[in-house]
Amino acid sequence: MTRFEIRLPGIMASLLPMFAIFFTLLGKPDAHAQSEFEGYFPENATFLEEITTPSEFFGFEVGERHVTHDEILFYLRHLAEQSDRVILEQYATTHEGRPLIMLTITSPENHLSLERIRQTHLLLSDPSQSDDLDLERMPAVVNLGYSVHGNEASGANAAVLMSYYLAARTGEDFESSLDEMIILLDPALNPDGVQRFAGWVNQHRSVNSSVNASEAREFNEVWPGGRTNHYWFDLNRDWMPVQQPSSRGRVRMFQRWLPNLLTDFHEMGTNSTYFFQPGVPERTHPLTPQRNQDLTMAIAEYHADALDAMGELYYSRETFDDFYYGKGSTYPDIFGSVGILFEQASSRGSAQESIHGVLTFRETIENQVATSLSSLQAARELRTDLHDHMRTFYSDVLMEASRSPVKAWVVGDASDPARLAHFTDILLHHDVDVFDLSQNLTIGQTSFERGQAVIIPAEQTRYLFVKSLFERRTEFADSVFYDVSSWTLTDAFHLPVAEVYASRFNDGLKGVAWSLDENFQIPEEGRLTGGRSQVAYLMEWSDYYAPRALYTLQQHGFRAKVATKSFTAATPVGVKTYPQGTVLIPAGDEMIDKDRLWSVIR
């Protein structure tokens, strides 16, 4: 029995000895800081007096109420101005216009050569050069990410405290740790949701709040709540498809650094305790290497020690899977990193009754801070193992790709270049090598035209990720899943695809490489066959931009009809059969402004 299999009856929790030691305690505590940070930071931690504390900036202590995203943003900007350990950069903007920011936190000395450190770190993913790296001298790269679901607020509030801690903590050992780590801190992965939920709770809480969820409005936010972004999209399913601006920016930041460790802080039901990965072993994706799970277990020991020292209940190896590469804690696993999911029982407000007693908002934040600190301790002490895992991962990937009978995938549709371009755009965000198909190619019954298709070679460092996008997995070690169990990206785009085996593959099939540079463009315009019509216009719904075209026509006040079955029609290019779903835009009605319709159609 492992330490994570010890359970209390009726709750999925593990208790270990309460005397485990957490971080080394250094120096004498500052009296002011001790009261504000009691329960959050190591008891005797000391801080630079010139760095503004959260309570000095906000006028209240973290945990007294829910910090809004704008308050987080303003405070972290202020922190970056005060501290030579912190650089703030914006990597995307939400649909509601809020900045998504990343703090890069390390020692002032590392900041002076940050780009060199990054470039050296990326060599771990280049088997042709990685053997020459001195892993002992390389800092670990850690990505701390909070509150991708906006109404799981303990994460974003913990991020405020962690930012202050990393900017202001003093002590020789701590300052030495900053030399050994590059910390990328993303305080709120879903700013719109964080703002929406904080506004709800702060608006509906009372001076004398009830802890009964059935009585207090603060616990029962109206639909759609703060979980999702502006368009009600679950951003924790978007790491692979990158359909939202925040996800696109975040994935580019990930690929820019390839962090050794990425943390993903969440909340769950109020009657739960605390979860950290590993999850259910049988629900780990088969393409994820075993060493990833071994390191996840090794890191879990640090979280267990931290929570033991606090007397907190927790569990692991249950409930949650580690399968879908579109989730924040699983995406890193297919790129040589280690992703860790944390789930804290949610107070959903200032304090709420649970089966374990009253759960306060402050307590939920304390636990998220504790496992943030334990993650950093683990990354520091295991950094050579994490570096070696990444180096070995990419060497093994290229070796596996060389042994694969499939040498490439060809994807294309000459009738809809926009569809292919959007598909390719997703691959490029993950640094996948993609090339124009340089010559016509027929595989089985499917033909691909030169210049109208792309070829994705297997022998590249992103081979396993690409394989996960194209494979059709129908057998599973465990048939029960928390969430997504299957995805084939070409099916999502309704694109023809074919595997190219060794007998048909040669480098001559690879044309110009696609790139996300300033020259990358996605076709924005459709084609009109025939001229101006006095009767009607027909538009097949299978075209990628058909919905956009329909919405544009409707916004201009024009009506449209849809075919409920296939039909034939005489057109300027002859009789043609149209499928079910074809959209008809009438042009002959005397009430229609035909000139304006023609202008919009063109």
**Given a cut of 90, is residue 49 above it in pLDDT?**
yes
Q: How confident is the model at residue 2 (pLDDT cuts 50, 70, 90)?
A: low
**Given a cut of 60, is residue 182 above it in pLDDT?**
yes
**Given a cut of 60, is residue 14 above it in pLDDT?**
no
The DSSP letter of residue 556 is T
Report which of 287, 291, 272 is spatially closest to residue 400, judged by C-alpha positions. Answer: 287
| pLDDT for position 91 | 98
Separation of alpha carbons 15 and 40, rounded Å: 20
Report which of 56, 104, 60 is spatially closest to residue 83, judged by C-alpha positions. Answer: 104
317 to each of 11, 299, 322, 371, 508, how far by Cα in Å? Answer: 14, 13, 10, 17, 48
Least confident of 69-78, 355-364, 530-539: 530-539
Cα angle, residue 389 at apex, residues 384 and 390 outer, rounded to 5°: 100
The CB-side HSE value for 537 (13 A sphere, CA atoms) comes to: 25
Overall CATH class of domain 16-44+70-397: alpha beta
Separation of alpha carbons 401 and 408, rounded Å: 10
| pLDDT for position 21 | 35
**What is the crossing angle of helices 463-470 and 383-403, to 10°?**
60
Rounded mean pLDDT of 572-591?
90
**Given a cut of 50, is residue 13 above it in pLDDT?**
no
Report which of 303, 235, 295 is spatially closest to residue 274, judged by C-alpha positions. Answer: 303
Separation of alpha carbons 372 and 368, rounded Å: 6
Name which residue leads in pLDDT, 269 or 30.
269
pTM over 0.85: yes
477 to each of 4, 216, 286, 287, 484, how far by Cα in Å? Answer: 21, 43, 9, 13, 15
Region at 33 (left for phi over 0; alpha for psi -120 to 50; beta for the rest): alpha
* pLDDT tens-digit map of 218-230: 999 999 999 999 9
Q: How confident is the model at residue 285 (pLDDT cuts 50, 70, 90)?
A: very high
Under a CB-based contact definition with an 8 Å cutoff, are residues 459 and 395 in contact? no
Rounded mean pLDDT of 351-370?
97
**Given a cut of 80, is residue 137 above it in pLDDT?**
yes
Least confident of 112-121, 140-149, 346-355, 525-534: 525-534
> What CATH number matches the domain at 404-513, 2.60.40, 3.30.70, 1.10.3470, 3.90.320?
3.30.70
Rounded mean pLDDT of 251-279?
98
Rounded mean pLDDT of 250-255?
98
User: Do the domains spanning 16-44+70-397 and 404-513 agree at the CATH topology level?
Assistant: no
Cα angle, residue 266 at apex, residues 277 and 7 outer, rounded to 5°: 45
Report which of 365, 284, 358 is spatially closest to residue 320, judged by C-alpha positions. Answer: 284
Percent of the chain with pLDDT over 90: 81
* pLDDT tens-digit map of 410-434: 999 888 889 999 999 999 999 999 9
**Given a cut of 90, is residue 530 above it in pLDDT?**
no
Domain boundaries along the sequence of the chain? 16-44+70-397, 404-513, 536-601
| pLDDT for position 6 | 41
